[in-house]
Structures are given as C-alpha cells and as structure tokens.
Amino acid sequence: MKRKLDLVVLSDIHLGTYGCHAKELLHYLNSVKPKKLILNGDIFDIWQFRKRYFPKSHLLVIKKIFSLAAKGTKVYYITGNHDEKLRRFSDTKMGNIYILDKLVLNLDGKKAWFFHGDVFDASIQHTKWIAKMGGWGYDLLILFNRFINIILVKLGREKYSLSKKIKNSVKGAVKFISDFEATATELAIENEFDYVVCGHIHQPEIRKVTTIKGETTYLNSGDWIENLTALEYHHEQWRLHYYQADKTPMIKEEFDNEELIVLPKMLSAFQKI
C-alpha cells in the first residue's frame, strides 16, 4: 500500500555517479503517493556525468518521476550546483513538471521557502574547479567506503562512514555546515518564512530556530549517497524519512520502446548543454 503524502522533498541524488543509491530511491518512490514532489537540487550530477555510466536503475528513477507527474503529482525541480546548467531553463513548465531556482509554497497557512543552498558556498561561486575536483574525490571516497563496508558486514561488524568521520573531525567542515544553517535561518526569519528547506550539505535535519528577531523551522532533506533520506509533509507535520531496506518486493518497472529511445537522447543532451 502506497503512503499518501501532501509533500515529499528529495535532494542530492546525484544520478550518474557511482555513489548514487538509485535502486533504494526507486523503492522509496514506489512506496509513496505525494500530491507534490520537490526535487531540491543536484538530482543529476552533470559535473561528473559520464555517458558510459548511467545504469538502468538511474533511468528508472527518471521514468518514475515522469510517471508521478503524469498521474497528477506536481513536480518542482529546483536546480542545484551539480545540475546548474539546467538553470538556463528556469521558469519552464512541462505538464506537471516545473524547473525553478527557488520556490515558495503556502503549506496550511504557513510560508515555506525551498532552495538548494549552493548560493551560500563561496568555493563554488569563486573557485568552481576546486569544487568539481572535490566532487570527484567524494565519489571515489564513497566507492572505497562501500568496499570497506562489504568487508565489515562479512565480519559481522557495523558499517562505517568515512565521509561522516572526516566531516565531523575537520573543524572547517563543521563550521561550514553551522554557518550554512545559520545563514539560511537568519534569512528565513528576516523574510518571515515559517519554514526554510534546503539541500546541498548532505546533512538531514529538522530544527526549530528562535532568535530575538523571530523564529523559523530549518529543514534539510539530506541525500541519497550516504543518508538515504527524504522530507515528508502530511497533516501539517514534517518528518524525516530514513530509508531502511526491508523485504517488501520492489515494484518492477520496465521501459517501453518509446522510453528506450527518448531517455538516452535526453542523457546525450546533457553533454551539449
């Protein structure tokens, strides 16, 4: 039985990279029926796009998103830094799919502000080549981490996250995350938003922030590289959903002939943007 939800927020999926958990995401998408789906940036990783690596599970995620839109779900694609080339198509509408740089929604009388968050990252704005190199390094680290975890599981030990350990031990990374959250909440309070919803830093979070100027709720949808998280809104309540592998069979989806032609053409177009 699919869970009916008012709103689902996903970000930092990074389709087209080795670190992406596309099969798990497809399983999650097959388990929900949202009225609105917000894709809050870095859905495709155009920075690291390789035509030779885009497995069927990644294509099926795209198909599922189109399928949701065709069945009535409003899909808002908010561009991020790894898919920034799509920003030239901002304010484009294709059926139930909208491409935007940011979004404001009224949720049961409260104002919600959605944006990816890379605008706060000086390393991206001024030294983009460094950020892109970092993206490649992160992808390799995730692959190495998966290899280690396979060994740990066989030894009967718990999985270990190298990237989380590095982030938590490097003062600069901890400060960046803290500064990011502080900046987002400060701007949201100044502009009288009840909710500010971001991605970008791969740190899932729901937290109410109160200052002398007011209050807001900061939310971050995390990612589908390490945390495998989504934000869900229903009956005026927010929750963080952490994907857990279970024995529920994944709904099998197949391509029809038209999709087999259209999707590869779309992927080839990324290289020309």
Average pLDDT per block of 10 residues along the chain, 273 residues long: 95 89 96 97 74 82 95 95 79 92 96 88 45 50 62 69 52 58 90 95 93 95 94 97 67 43 49 52
* Token pair belonging to 99: 């491409």
Q: What's the pTM?
A: 0.76
Q: pLDDT at position 194, please?
A: 97
Q: pLDDT at position 125, please?
A: 46
Query: How is the beta sheet containing 237-242 ordered, strand by strand?
Result: 92-94, 97-100, 74-78, 32-40, 3-10, 229-234, 237-242
CA atoms within a 13 Å half-sphere pointing along the CA-CB vector of 105? 20
Q: What is the DSSP letter of 140?
A: H
Cα(233)–Cα(219) distance, rounded to whole angstroms?
11
215 touches 207 (CB < 8 A): no
Q: pLDDT at position 170, please?
A: 40
Domains and CATH numbers, the chain: 3-270 (3.60.21.10)
Q: pLDDT at position 48, please?
A: 63
Q: pLDDT at position 88, please?
A: 84
Alpha carbon separation from 251 to 223, 224, 268 (Å, rounded): 22, 19, 28
Q: pLDDT at position 46, please?
A: 67
How, if at all, do strands 92-94 and 103-107 pair? unpaired
